[in-house]
Structures are given as structure tokens and as C-alpha cells.
Amino acid sequence: MEAVVSKNIVKGLEEIVGAKYVRADDVIRWTYAIEDFAGTFFHPLSDKYGPPDIVIKPHSAEEISKILKLANKHKIPVIARGGGSDMTGATTPLKKTGGMILDMTDMNRVLDFQEGLNAVRVQPGIRWGELHHELAKKGVTAGCQGPHGFLGATLGGGIGGNCFSINSPKYGWLNENILNLQVVLPNGDIIETGSLANTMVKDWYYRYCNGPDLVGIFLGAAGAFGVITEFTLRTYPIPEFSDTLAYTFPDTDSQIKFVFKLEWHGYVTDLWGIAYYTLPDSLKKIIKPLIGERDIAIFATEAYDKDIFKAQKKAIDKMAKEFGGIALPVEGLTRALGISIINQTEWMGGGTFGKVMGPNGTDTCSIAHLPQWQKVVGKALDIMHRDEDALSGSIPLIGAEHFFLFAQLLGRGGVANTFAMTPADFMEPEKLKQAQDMYCEIVESYMDTGYAALYRIGKESQFLTKRFKPEYISFMKAIKKTLDPNNIMNPGVHGLGLEEE
């Protein structure tokens, strides 16, 4: 597949950012033709995606402004990309449109931190781990710890992709913590939102002022309406007291009621739940002799004061007993091992996915309100059990089963997350096709229960957008047409920016 961008355009870009930061050779084009496999094992195999024509590394909003003006003039698609950890093809060009990728990872500085403001202003190319490192020096935390160990991901990508995070039950999602944005609009204008819209404000950060909340339309938009070049994020003091606790419950209903109450009272920082009936037989054999056929909630709780912390844990224990909960002695163990479920290392990405979950393990992660959860899991399990043979990339850590399903993960407001791993064997095309069909069927089943699809907002958003109300789609299209009449901004995300087919 040949690059379609002319030498003049390359020259124009080189004049903007410098020749060192513009690449249009085949090696770079194909290197940027894939993101994280985990959610989209389709795309390297499908005709849908292709390589970019050019990759550019910008260093300022002004450079991006000039790039967008040039792109508009020549009607070239522009895709802003961070760590490339997206799982939905959000930052991979469509084969039929091609385009230029803005690799934002050189815009990775902490710009401003003022003690007492509880906010930090950063560039979007900063990676999660680097932000934690910088904030720890100031004795604060961003609350959100990032997308479950994928510390190579950037915050800009997290904003564009509506990133869910470790600690979201307490601190909310990343985008709930955004105060101001600086955005380069498709026409090249650079705007600032919230308090920074006022020319007299230089370093005071607040979102809800100076008119309507215009931040929201850029969050989760995957660059469809502009390129975010700076943002302000809330910060929090680091809690001095923290423990990992666990309880078992006689059934999922009791477990869910406990989780709801725990979250309602603000006692939970992060929580993982396991429903016994969803486990593979190999794990059931290990768990049953230890705790019986009971469901587990394992969670972290934190406080800033010793006495409050003690009282909080006492209240949690009382609450658990109310629903038949029995404490598991994990507190001392995790403390002795120096680990916690809220560590950034919770997942650690890397080979954990490929080697432990099975080659090309693909997750069908989606979110829903907690009461829906059992229904959704039931359907997913039915599908997976029906065609187990298709999932041949086994998970050696937990036995012979070919799939794994994390039962629930809580977000603030009773948001549950179902995480079904469907590792496929790419060496056998027939099995791979079966696994892909199963993947689609599981995601469709999620959507039919009213799930909002956390990981389905990129160019794999067809599962979601076909369920949108027509008026909502019209409204999004109207915004798109106003801001980006030439459809240059990441065409294909949310089904936007493509000519009617």
C-alpha cells in the first residue's frame, strides 16, 4: 500500500515541525499501523485498517494549529495518538482514508503545579507512570492510577478514550477529574475552556464557569472534534492509611448489595469481585475447599486519619456482616507482601496479557450498572461455554479452560465492568474466525442489555452507534459538521467523519 501524500505536503510539514519530526517511509508507516491488539484482534487481519501516510511528532499547540490548517487545505485526515494502547482502532487510520498521525508523546511535560490549587496542568503525551512519578515528588496523587497497569499509555489517550482507572470507585474516571482543556480546533484555532477562557485568568483552574461546560464534548471524542494540547487535572493528598480487605458472601445478590452500600458510604477506593458460578472448574476446585461456594469482594479502603481509618474498617465489617459476609484474612498478608489492589502494578500489561491470558487474548470489556451485571455475565458465559473449542489459547495459570471472565469491577455510581478474555489461536484460521464471531456475539449481547461500551468508542464503535437514538446521532453529526466541515479529524470514530454510505 503506497503512501498517497505528496512531497510538497511533507515539505510543508517539515517547515512546521522540522524535518527530524516528519516521517513518511514505509517502515514508520507500518510501525504505526497497529495499536494494542487486546481489544481488536481483528484489525491486522481485516481490510478495515491501514497504515498512516505520514507520522509527525509535534511539540506545541502552535505547531499543531499550523498542521491542521495545512491538513484542511489538502483535506488530509489527522489522527492524534498517544501511547498507542487503545484497543479499538481509535488511533489507526482507516484503509480507505489514510492520513497523518500526530504522535503526541513528545508533548509530555508537567506545566504547572501549585500547592493548594489541587490541580496539575500537563501536556497530553505524558504517560501515566511518569505523571505518578512527578506528582509523588510533590506529595500528591492524581487519584486515578491509570488503565490497570498499562503505564505506557498516555493521559491524552485516556481522555480521548474515556479511560476507566484503578481507584475510579473513589476518584471517578479520568475525565471526571478534568478541569480545563486547551484544544486546537480543526480550523487551527487554539481555545482554552472553563476558567482559562477568561483572558485575565492565568493559573486558576476551574471547569464550570464562563458559560456552558464545553470541556465535555472533547472528552471521549477520540480526537473527532480537535486535538487536546494541554489539560488540567485534579490532584489529591496521598492517604496515609490504606488496607486491602476481603469478604465472602453466600450469593451474588448479597455481594452486590454490600458493594453498593460500601460505595454509597465512600469507603471503597477500588474493588474486584468474583462470582463463584462464573469461575472455570479448575479455579472452583481450588476455591471451594477454602471458602465454599461463596462470592468474594476484595477491595482497598483508605483514610487520612488513623482514628477515622479504624472506625471506617469497623463500619465496613458491620456492613459486610449485615449481608452475611465473612472476612478473609488478606489484610495482614497483603501488608506483609507490600502489595495492594490499588498498586499501579495491579496488571502491569506486558506479557501478562499475551503469555498468561493466552496468545492474542482479547477482552470484551464493557460497563453497566451493577444490577444488570448478573444478566450480562450469564449471557457471556452461555456463549463461551457453547463454543469453548474456539478459544484455544489456554490460560495456563488457572488450568485447562480456554477463557477467563472477571466477574465485576466497580466504578463510582454502581458501575460494573465485565471483562471476558477470549484468547484465540491465530495459527488455525478456522478457530480464529470462530473466536472472532464469538467476540462479536458477546459484545452484541452486552449491548442488548443496555451496556455502555467502555472499550467500544473507537473505530470498532459500530456495536454501540447502531443502538444510538437518531436524534443523538444527528446532534453529534451537527457538532462535527460545524467544527470539522472537511471531516479531517480522525474519520471513523463514533461513525463520524465519513461520507454517508
Binding site for another protein (CB under 8 A): 1, 23, 25-28, 30-38, 44, 51, 55, 57, 83-85, 103, 105-106, 127, 129-130, 132-133, 136, 150-153, 337-339, 343-356, 359-361, 396-397, 426-427
User: What crossing angle do the helices spanning 373-386 and 252-264 adopt, rounded to 10°?
Assistant: 140
* Helix boundaries (H) for 145-275: 155-160, 168-171, 252-264
Comparing CB distances to another protein, the nearer of 48 and 257 is 48
For the chain, how big is the Rg over CA atoms in Å?
23
Minimum distance of another protein from residue 230's CB (angstroms): 19
Minimum distance of another protein from residue 51's CB (angstroms): 8
Query: 12 phi and psi, to 5 degrees?
Result: -60, -40
- d(CA 415, CA 165) in angstroms, rounded, equals 12
SS3 218: helix
Comparing CB distances to another protein, the nearer of 360 and 445 is 360
Query: Does residue 167 contact residue 269 with C-beta atoms inside 8 Å?
Result: yes
- d(CA 408, CA 303) in angstroms, rounded, equals 24
Minimum distance of another protein from residue 296's CB (angstroms): 19
Comparing CB distances to another protein, the nearer of 129 and 413 is 129
Minimum distance of another protein from residue 22's CB (angstroms): 10
- d(CA 54, CA 41) in angstroms, rounded, equals 24
Comparing CB distances to another protein, the nearer of 238 and 326 is 238
Minimum distance of another protein from residue 467's CB (angstroms): 28
Element (H, E) at 432: helix 429-448
Comparing CB distances to another protein, the nearer of 308 and 337 is 337
**Taking Cα atoms as reference points, which of 399, 389, 460, 455 lies closest to residue 425?**
389
Comparing CB distances to another protein, the nearer of 124 and 188 is 124
Q: Which residues pair with 56 in a beta bridge?
A: 22, 102
Comparing CB distances to another protein, the nearer of 193 and 436 is 436
Minimum distance of another protein from residue 291's CB (angstroms): 22
Burial classification of residue 113, based on how many CB atoms lie within 10 Å of its CB (0-12 exposed, 13-18 middle, 19 or more buried): middle
Minimum distance of another protein from residue 217's CB (angstroms): 27
